[in-house]
Every structure is written in structure tokens, then in C-alpha cells.
Amino acid sequence: MAYTFRIHCRASDDLSLALVDGEVVLAAADPSDDRQLWQKDVMYAGGVKVLKDEAGNPAFALVNKATGDALKHSLGYNLPVRAIRFNPGYLDESVLWAETGDVGGGYRLIHMVNNMDYIFDAEKATPQFGGARDGTRLILFRWNRGHNQLWRISDAPAGRGPPVRVSCECNNELSLAIRDGAAVLARTDLDDDTQAWVQSFRNTGRVTDSEGRSSFALVNKSTGKALRRSHGDQKVEVVSYSLDSVDVALLWTTSGDLREGSHCIRSVSNLGYVLDASEGETTGAHDGTPVISFQSHSGANQKWKTTPFPYLAFLSVLGNC
């Protein structure tokens, strides 16, 4: 089964992007409504050469689960995003999108793959116009720093989240992994699903950090366990993850973009403590370097980047064949 997602706007967590009567709108969040579920098809834009935007971000199509329609570019600036029947056998750049790096709390800008100036915008979903509401249209607009232009593609309650690789700026050839029940850096291996992670917002409710950024759990795809900060020392534990309760020690947030999509992964209860590749800045990170929680000092061993895990994404597509 392919991964399915909900698409939320920062203007209102109570609404989800939906396809209703042929229109792309925000709708009151309803876990049973398949019109609010989307599949992020990264294979469609792949082929021999992966299509990317001018910043190097990979392209994808957004396909509605209920209708099989894909989101299509609008006819121009300030006009509604459209939906057309998705044809996976015919490459059409007008249904391809890309997204920026995380700008905080899992939110990003989503834009046309061939024009980064045209971004998703919940029409007039700003305080001066009364905010977002059921039926708010999705249009394309230029960046004006509004919350109605920030979007989070998150795992649906009935589905699973997108697998990502988490790499450290101190050594991009290594990835966050689980070995012998501990969090470490390991040499990147796309056949190793202990290196695949899900940034899950499923049971975090409205928990935010002191800067108002949404929290998430970082769940390992292979083991189903999550990273937990140990308050007594620098240790990061790998513990069981339950959908029925929230342990604040399991929750993390991200800083703003520090450089080329890198950010700090911070404990939601104390932003001064971040994920840290132990001694990675002084002695160099290597295969087996422990990952700990340490006081923030802006070192390269505390800057992380999440990128799609292509091997598992490919398996999810094969599962539908």
C-alpha cells in the first residue's frame, strides 16, 4: 500500500487540504474522509533522470486517494490550483511540485517545480480576512511570509509516514541509524531500513515548543521505536512508541533553516538541548559514532538534514503493482 498523507496549513491545524466537488480547498479535518488523503508520488517524476526544481529539490505529484486526480498548476498568479485525472504513464510537468526545506515545525513551502515563485497559498486565510475556514480555496501566490503559505505533509491517522534519511552536516556519508538498541551514525546504506525514520505528528496533539513550533516524534521505520531524551544525562534512548499517549521526552522540534536545508533537532521541553553526533566536531564522525543530546553550540555535529529515503519509497510503489 502506498503511503497516504494529510496536508495541513499552518493557518489552522483543524483543516486539511481536500478535493471537494472538483475544487481544491481546506476542509474540516475528518479522519474518515478519503478526499483529505493524498499520495506523494515521487516515482512519477523520476524516470532515468529525476526532475528537480532550480534549487535541486526533487519533484513529486500529489494524487488524491478518493478520486485519483492530481493537483495541477493554476492558470496563473492568484488563481486556483486545479485537479485533473492522473495518468502515471504520461509525464506532465504541470502536475509536478517541489518543496523547500523545513522552515520550522515540519512546515515547508510547496511550489511549482518549474517556477519557485508560485507557491501554495490558502486564499485570504489571514487574520485581516477572518482566517482559514472550511471551503478556503488553494491558490498560487508569491511568498509573503504568511502562515497561510506554510504547509506540512504529515502521516494520516490510518497510514504511515514518509520514510526519510537523517544525515549530519559533520559527515554527510553517514546516516542516523539503530544498532544494538542504540542511536548511532552509520555508513549510509539504502538497503538498511534501520536508517529510515518517520517524523510523526500523530499523537503530539497541540504540543509546541516555547517558540510555537509544532512537535513530533522521530520513529525508526524498522523497529517502530522512537528517540527519547534522557533528562538525567546526555543519553538518547531508543524506546517503545505508543500512539495512545504522549511522553514529552519523546518530542522534538526543529530550528529554522540554518543552511541548505540543515537544522537543529531540539528537545521540545528544553530548546537548549539538541541531537548531537558525539565528539563529531572535534574528532570527526565515523561509522558507530553515538548520537546524544547535548547543549546547543551551533557546531556541524548538531546540524541535521532530512531527505527522502528512495529505496523504501520505491518499495511502497511496487506494493501497488
- Which range is least confidently modeled, 70-74, 115-119, 227-231, 285-289? 227-231
35 pLDDT above the threshold of 60:
yes
> What is the reported pTM?
0.57
Residue whose entry in the numeric block shows the C-alpha cell 516515482? 43
Q: What would the pLDDT profile of 228-243 be if each residue is shown by its tens digit? A: 998 767 889 999 876 6
Q: What would the pLDDT profile of 156-180 be if each residue is shown by its tens digit? A: 543 345 678 999 999 989 999 999 9
CATH number of 5-158: 2.80.10.50
Rounded CA-CA distance 151/110 in Å is 7
Confidence of residue 293 (pLDDT cuts 50, 70, 90): very high
If one compares 196 and 136, the residue with the highest pLDDT of the two is 136
Residue whose entry in the numeric block shows the C-alpha cell 490510518? 158
Where in the chain are the domains?
Answer: 5-158, 164-308
Burial class from Cβ neighbours inside 10 Å (0-12, 13-18, 19+) for residue 142 reads exposed
If one compares 233 and 306, the residue with the highest pLDDT of the two is 306
Rounded CA-CA distance 304/257 in Å is 10
CATH number of 164-308: 2.80.10.50
For residue 111, the SS3 value is strand
Calculate the dihedral angle through the C-alpha atoms of 67, 74, 106, 9, rounding to the nearest 10 degrees.
-80
If one compares 312 and 152, the residue with the highest pLDDT of the two is 152
Q: What would the pLDDT profile of 253-289 be if each residue is shown by its tens digit? A: 888 777 777 889 999 888 999 999 997 766 678 999 9
In order of 168, 183, 200, 219, 291, the CA distances from 236 in angstroms are 16, 7, 18, 13, 7
pLDDT (mean) for 77-84: 96
Look at residues 163, 197, 165, 167 and name the one whose alpha carbon lies nearest to residue 289.
167
**Do the two domains 5-158 and 164-308 of this chain adopt the same fold?**
yes
Rounded CA-CA distance 151/198 in Å is 17
Confidence of residue 205 (pLDDT cuts 50, 70, 90): low
Rounded CA-CA distance 69/130 in Å is 30
Burial class from Cβ neighbours inside 10 Å (0-12, 13-18, 19+) for residue 321 reads exposed
Residue 147 has what pLDDT? 95
Geometric angle at alpha carbon 158, from 155 and 159, rounded to 5°: 45
pLDDT (mean) for 90-115: 90
Rounded CA-CA distance 213/252 in Å is 10
89-103, 201-215, 248-262 — most confident range: 89-103
Residue 159 has what pLDDT? 37
